[in-house]
Amino acid sequence: MTIRLLWRAAFWTLVLVTVWLSLVPVHQLPTDFHFWDKAQHALGFAALAVLGRRAYPAHLRVLVFGLLLFGAGIECAQWLTGWRQGDWADWLADCIGLAAGILGHQTLGKPGRDSH
């Protein structure tokens, strides 16, 4: 398995974990996940951004647009569940985390160098 495939597997695994953590009732979440909600959103989307850049280095615009829609979709889906609450401020935290992850990776990472 190549490095790129491992990055892609990690990215899509985190996408699925994010969906699960975002949509299960709050009382079913592990207690380790009960810290400041906005920080969770920012950290989660920063991680998605970094993994996404490593997995798809040639597709920055698609990645950013897709993760922006993903964050908005999560908030809409939470609103529809009846047991979670969608919040535009959570989406803003997603956007901040996404920007931080992309900028951090641009500054510290070397996208595209592990093209195996």
Between the CA of residue 24 and those of 64, 74, 78, what are the distances in Å?
25, 12, 9
- Distance (Å, rounded) from C-alpha 68 to C-alpha 73? 9
Per-residue model confidence as pLDDT tens digits over 14-61: 999 999 999 998 878 766 655 678 899 999 999 999 999 999 999 999
> What type of residue is 74?
I
Per-residue model confidence as pLDDT tens digits over 6-25: 999 999 999 999 999 999 98
Per-residue model confidence as pLDDT tens digits over 81-105: 988 888 899 999 999 999 999 999 9
Between the CA of residue 37 and those of 20, 57, 78, 90, 106, what are the distances in Å?
15, 29, 14, 8, 26
Model confidence, pTM? 0.86
